[in-house]
Structure 1
Amino acid sequence: MENPATSTPPPPLKRNSNDVGWEYGQLCDPRVPDKVRCRLCGKEFSGGIYRMKEHIGHLKGNVSACPMSSKEDQEKYTSTEHP
Protein backbone atom coordinates (compact mmCIF):
# COMPACT_ATOMS: atom_id res chain seq x y z
CA MET A 1 0.00 0.00 0.00
CA GLU A 2 1.35 3.38 -1.01
CA ASN A 3 1.75 6.19 1.52
CA PRO A 4 -0.37 9.17 0.32
CA ALA A 5 2.10 11.65 1.77
CA THR A 6 4.85 10.38 -0.53
CA SER A 7 2.72 9.79 -3.63
CA THR A 8 1.68 13.42 -4.19
CA PRO A 9 4.30 15.82 -5.49
CA PRO A 10 5.12 18.86 -3.35
CA PRO A 11 3.48 22.12 -4.37
CA PRO A 12 5.58 24.24 -6.74
CA LEU A 13 7.69 26.90 -5.09
CA LYS A 14 6.68 30.46 -5.83
CA ARG A 15 7.06 33.84 -4.26
CA ASN A 16 4.25 35.38 -2.29
CA SER A 17 3.02 37.39 -5.24
CA ASN A 18 -0.08 37.69 -7.38
CA ASP A 19 2.01 38.30 -10.50
CA VAL A 20 0.58 36.40 -13.46
CA GLY A 21 4.09 35.25 -14.39
CA TRP A 22 3.96 32.64 -11.62
CA GLU A 23 1.43 30.76 -13.76
CA TYR A 24 4.44 29.61 -15.80
CA GLY A 25 7.33 29.85 -13.34
CA GLN A 26 8.48 28.37 -10.09
CA LEU A 27 11.39 29.01 -7.79
CA CYS A 28 14.27 26.58 -8.13
CA ASP A 29 15.36 27.18 -4.54
CA PRO A 30 13.44 29.17 -1.88
CA ARG A 31 16.72 30.69 -0.67
CA VAL A 32 17.47 32.16 -4.13
CA PRO A 33 14.42 34.26 -5.11
CA ASP A 34 15.75 35.27 -8.54
CA LYS A 35 16.43 31.72 -9.82
CA VAL A 36 13.30 30.60 -11.69
CA ARG A 37 12.34 27.47 -13.67
CA CYS A 38 9.87 27.47 -16.56
CA ARG A 39 7.02 25.03 -15.96
CA LEU A 40 6.55 24.56 -19.70
CA CYS A 41 10.05 23.67 -20.88
CA GLY A 42 12.07 23.26 -17.66
CA LYS A 43 14.67 25.94 -18.49
CA GLU A 44 16.24 27.57 -15.43
CA PHE A 45 17.53 31.13 -15.38
CA SER A 46 18.26 34.09 -13.13
CA GLY A 47 16.40 37.35 -13.23
CA GLY A 48 13.18 36.48 -11.49
CA ILE A 49 9.66 36.59 -12.80
CA TYR A 50 10.42 39.49 -15.17
CA ARG A 51 12.77 37.21 -17.14
CA MET A 52 10.14 34.47 -17.03
CA LYS A 53 7.68 36.79 -18.76
CA GLU A 54 10.29 37.60 -21.40
CA HIS A 55 10.94 33.88 -21.88
CA ILE A 56 7.25 32.98 -22.28
CA GLY A 57 6.45 36.06 -24.38
CA HIS A 58 9.40 35.52 -26.77
CA LEU A 59 10.73 39.00 -25.99
CA LYS A 60 14.25 39.25 -27.37
CA GLY A 61 17.33 40.43 -25.54
CA ASN A 62 17.75 38.80 -22.15
CA VAL A 63 16.60 35.18 -22.37
CA SER A 64 15.85 32.57 -25.00
CA ALA A 65 12.26 32.06 -26.15
CA CYS A 66 10.28 29.20 -24.64
CA PRO A 67 9.75 26.54 -27.31
CA MET A 68 6.62 25.30 -25.53
CA SER A 69 4.68 28.57 -25.12
CA SER A 70 1.61 28.96 -27.31
CA LYS A 71 0.60 32.10 -29.18
CA GLU A 72 -1.98 32.71 -26.45
CA ASP A 73 0.73 32.46 -23.76
CA GLN A 74 2.98 34.83 -25.72
CA GLU A 75 0.24 37.42 -26.15
CA LYS A 76 -0.17 37.70 -22.37
CA TYR A 77 3.34 39.16 -22.15
CA THR A 78 3.70 41.21 -25.31
CA SER A 79 1.24 43.81 -24.08
CA THR A 80 2.09 46.98 -22.18
CA GLU A 81 3.69 45.11 -19.25
CA HIS A 82 7.10 45.41 -20.91
CA PRO A 83 8.70 48.46 -22.47
Structure 2
Amino acid sequence: MDIPPTASPPRLKRNSNDVGWDYGVLCDARFPDKVKCLLCGKEFSGGIFRMKEHIDHLKGNVTVCPKSTKGDQEKCKWL
Protein backbone atom coordinates (compact mmCIF):
# COMPACT_ATOMS: atom_id res chain seq x y z
CA MET A 1 0.00 0.00 0.00
CA ASP A 2 1.43 3.37 -1.02
CA ILE A 3 1.31 6.31 1.37
CA PRO A 4 0.41 9.61 -0.28
CA PRO A 5 3.31 12.10 -0.20
CA THR A 6 1.18 14.62 1.72
CA ALA A 7 0.47 12.19 4.57
CA SER A 8 2.50 12.88 7.69
CA PRO A 9 3.99 10.06 9.74
CA PRO A 10 2.07 9.12 12.88
CA ARG A 11 2.98 11.15 15.97
CA LEU A 12 4.85 9.16 18.57
CA LYS A 13 3.61 9.56 22.12
CA ARG A 14 3.42 7.54 25.30
CA ASN A 15 0.21 5.75 26.19
CA SER A 16 -1.01 8.54 28.44
CA ASN A 17 -3.78 11.11 28.64
CA ASP A 18 -1.38 13.72 30.06
CA VAL A 19 -2.06 17.22 28.67
CA GLY A 20 1.65 17.56 27.88
CA TRP A 21 1.21 15.27 24.87
CA ASP A 22 -0.85 18.04 23.24
CA TYR A 23 2.44 19.94 22.98
CA GLY A 24 5.07 17.29 22.43
CA VAL A 25 5.98 14.06 20.70
CA LEU A 26 8.60 11.40 21.25
CA CYS A 27 11.70 11.95 19.15
CA ASP A 28 12.34 8.21 18.95
CA ALA A 29 10.24 5.34 20.30
CA ARG A 30 13.41 3.69 21.66
CA PHE A 31 14.08 6.66 23.98
CA PRO A 32 10.85 7.41 25.89
CA ASP A 33 12.26 10.41 27.76
CA LYS A 34 13.43 12.35 24.68
CA VAL A 35 10.64 14.66 23.52
CA LYS A 36 10.19 17.42 20.95
CA CYS A 37 8.06 20.52 21.40
CA LEU A 38 5.42 20.86 18.69
CA LEU A 39 5.32 24.65 19.11
CA CYS A 40 8.99 25.60 18.78
CA GLY A 41 10.70 22.36 17.70
CA LYS A 42 13.12 22.16 20.65
CA GLU A 43 14.21 18.64 21.60
CA PHE A 44 15.20 17.71 25.14
CA SER A 45 15.37 14.88 27.67
CA GLY A 46 13.21 14.58 30.74
CA GLY A 47 9.94 13.37 29.32
CA ILE A 48 6.56 15.01 29.42
CA PHE A 49 7.23 16.51 32.86
CA ARG A 50 9.98 18.67 31.35
CA MET A 51 7.75 19.43 28.36
CA LYS A 52 5.16 20.96 30.66
CA GLU A 53 7.85 23.00 32.42
CA HIS A 54 9.02 24.21 28.99
CA ILE A 55 5.51 25.24 27.93
CA ASP A 56 4.67 26.78 31.33
CA HIS A 57 7.88 28.90 31.38
CA LEU A 58 9.19 27.30 34.59
CA LYS A 59 12.86 28.21 34.54
CA GLY A 60 15.61 26.06 35.98
CA ASN A 61 15.40 22.69 34.26
CA VAL A 62 14.59 23.73 30.69
CA THR A 63 14.47 26.81 28.51
CA VAL A 64 11.09 28.48 28.10
CA CYS A 65 9.05 27.97 24.94
CA PRO A 66 9.02 31.22 22.96
CA LYS A 67 5.78 30.24 21.20
CA SER A 68 3.58 29.14 24.11
CA THR A 69 0.63 31.39 24.86
CA LYS A 70 -0.83 32.27 28.26
CA GLY A 71 -3.55 29.69 27.56
CA ASP A 72 -0.93 27.02 26.87
CA GLN A 73 0.88 27.97 30.07
CA GLU A 74 -2.31 27.69 32.13
CA LYS A 75 -3.09 24.31 30.61
CA CYS A 76 0.34 22.97 31.64
CA LYS A 77 0.48 24.40 35.18
CA TRP A 78 1.24 21.70 37.71
CA LEU A 79 1.53 23.63 40.95
TM-score > 0.5 by shorter chain: yes
Runs of 4+ aligned residues of structure 1 deviating over 3 Å after TM superposition are: none
Task: Compare relative contact order (CA 8 Å, sep 6+) and give the higher one, 1 or 2.
Answer: 2
The percentage of counterpart residues that share the same residue type is: 68
Whichever structure has more helix as a proportion of its residues is 1
Stretches of structure 1 that go unaligned for 5 or more consecutive residues are none
Map of 2:42 onto structure 1 = 43
The letter of the residue matching 1:18 is: N
- CA offsets 1:39-60 (integer angstroms, 9 cap, x no match): 0000000000000000000011
TM-score by length of 2: 0.91
TM-score (norm 1): 0.87
Paired residues, number: 78
Deviations 1:12-62 (A, max 9, x none): 110111111000000000000000000000000000000000000001110
RMSD, matched Cα = 1.4
Shift of 1:4: 5.9
1:2-41 to 2 correspondences below 5 Å: 5-7=3-5, 8-41=7-40
Q: CA deviation at 1:6?
A: 3.6
Choose 1 or 2 for highest CA Rg. 1
Question: Would you tell me which structure has more strand in proportion to its own residues?
Answer: 1
Distance (Å, rounded) in 2 between the aligned partners of 1:68 and 1:4: 35
